[in-house]
Amino acid sequence: MSVNREMAELAGNLARYAARTTGKEEAALRLSFFMAVVTEKPAGGTSLSVQRPFDSTILTLPCVGSAYAALSVGDSCFVLVPGSVSNAIVLGTGNLSNL
């Protein structure tokens, strides 16, 4: 299965879960994700600095422990955004192999 197909399937599953748990279809619209590239991996294992393709903004986001262990600078990562970017978290590697 291709990475794009896996990401589309994951996004659909997350959207259905959000709609089912809140009972409101618009809740699914508040859940999004994006791919980014790790630009910095600070010591400590709680956050990563990432940058979206074609965007100069660098975001320092909390991350899942297995994502921190699996990612290095320059790797693609999967960022889950429940609501706004201020709630974003690095969920995993670009193909989610750490989950």
Tens-digit pLDDT profile for residues 33-75: 999 999 999 888 889 999 999 999 999 999 988 889 999 999 9
What structural domains and CATH numbers belong to the chain?
30-93 (2.40.50.140)
Q: Distance (Å, rounded) from C-alpha 20 to C-alpha 89? A: 22
Interval 15-44 mean pLDDT: 76
More confident residue, 98 or 76: 76
Q: Distance (Å, rounded) from C-alpha 27 to C-alpha 93? A: 25
